[in-house]
Amino acid sequence: MPKIKQARVGIKMDMTPMVDVAFLLLTFFMLTTQFKPAEEVQIILPSSHSAFKLPETDVMSVTISKDNRIFLGFDSQRMSGRIFGEENKLRSSIEVTTKELPDMLIRARIANPKLRTVVKGDADADYGLAEDVMNILQKTNITRFNLVTDMEK
C-alpha cells in the first residue's frame, strides 16, 4: 500500500519588519552623514589626552599647514560667502596672510558673535607661526579658543 504523500511545508517568512528596520536605519544614516568637505591642505594633527569634543556648529577654523601657510575656514557656506565673497563660498578654507587675518577675524565675529575659534595646527608646523596666530587671536579679543588635536594612542 502506498504511503500517503506528505504535503511539503513551504517555509514563508515575513520579512516586512526586517526590511522596515533596514529602511529606518538607512534613512537615519543618510540624514546624519555629513560628508567631510575637501580640505585645502592635509593636516596631521598633534595628539593629546584632552577629552573635549569639537563643537559642531558656528566654527571658525584657523589652519596652520605644515609648510607654514595659514588658512581661514568656516563651517557654513553662508559665512564663507560673507567673509570671502560669493565666488569663494564653496571653498572650505582660504589662504590668508598674518596681515589680513586680524581684520577677517573681527569681521567674522561681527557677522556671527556666536562663532567659536579653533586652531588646527599641523604637528610639524613651526611654533613661531602658531605663536603669531595666538597673538593675533589675543589682539582681536578672542581669548577663548580650542586647539584641535587627535586622540593619543
Partner 1 sequence: MAGMDSGDAPRGHSKKKKKHKRMRRLGIRIDMTPMVDVAFLLLTFFMLTTTMNRPQTMEINMPPENTTVEVPQSNLITLRIKDDGVIYWNIAEETPQKVEYKDLRVLMTQKVQQNPKLITLIKVDRKGKYHMMVDIMDELNLANITRFSLAPMLDADKQVLAKAAS
Q: Which residues bind partner 1 (CB under 8 A)?
A: 12-16, 19, 22-23, 25-26, 29-30, 32-33, 45-54, 56, 64, 118, 121-131, 134, 137-139, 141, 143-152
Helices (H), 63-114: 77-84, 101-111
CB of 91 to partner 1, least distance (A): 20
Three-state DSSP class for residue 130: helix
Q: Which is nearer to partner 1, 27 or 88 (CB)?
A: 27
In the complex, least distance from residue 34 CB atom to partner 1, rounded to whole angstroms: 9
Angle at 55 between CA 51 and CA 61, to 5 degrees: 105
In the chain, the amino acid numbered 115 is: L
Nearer to partner 1, 6 or 33 (CB): 33
Query: Minimum distance from CB of 16 to partner 1 (Å)?
Result: 7
Q: Are 130 and 121 in contact (CB under 8 A)?
A: yes
